[in-house]
Structure 1
């Protein structure tokens, strides 16, 4: 018996907050057109005729980008054409750059198997799923994207070790170090400090786990 569904956050043809239950092990999503048999269809013209498919096999749900023209994103991660990744409870799905926004809900999921504990694993208060680029704080998803997520992932790679300012700058701002002219566009210390400050704010009380090593760099404590 299936206990999963999609909650519509935004999408033409459905009311905001509407639930779309899974009635079988496969849900084909797209734009309705003549001769196109879909399980879920949206009227937005930016949605492809066959945009994405969600499937369940042995209790594991996955989503696949069916070569859609305007793309599929899961928790901010863009899927390549025909790329398939697992779905977990409360994963956020964006179709066609936000033309359709959905939340995947799996009532039977006991936990995110691919999630790696970062801090206080016995309490499961702060967790990260690297593959899905998803951060959970006390079970609630925290929407991090861009350089905030890259910085957190990089510090987590070196958990409990100081990462130098220069290492962070090269990892988080690679575009500054790959100019075709061969010139390096300096990343100022104030710019780095501001990024760390804002990330700490986003992490709330867990922001204090990002520790400053004066004159050296930053470290993420367990």
Structure 2
């Protein structure tokens, strides 16, 4: 048995006893009369942008107008005609020059302005972290009140990778001065749509 195997076996044999998760009923009771307004307020406060849209044409027009200086668009949504659709078999290193990435979200959390993304939505895990500008499409009906509700949704789901993202990347490590886009997307835009329907 190698040293590595001995260490892993020792760790496995000395794990603490399993314990039941604590009851979070009181926390889960925190709800919002208007989840969309709460989500928008929080995301805007932390540097993100929320845009209400009617259909996919609105996404195309907004991106081309507000990111007009950028030319390297990519999306995981084939409904967005005019943008290159991501090939999930690409080498992630080839995404280093992506300026605007547009992906779908499973749901959003009103409490903290975050969205939940998995491999199903982003295809290549590096995509939402390596692009210059991240745009996310979220259905308004897919908003939950808080993280307790969010964990109830994902707790029984099988997925290899998942991440909550809230706003553009940021840091205040240097002299407590907030810097956006420090180690990831410079901006994050969430397109909130009533129902994801591509106009004919």
Q: TM-score range by the shorter chain?
A: under 0.3
Higher strand share: 1
Higher helix share: 2
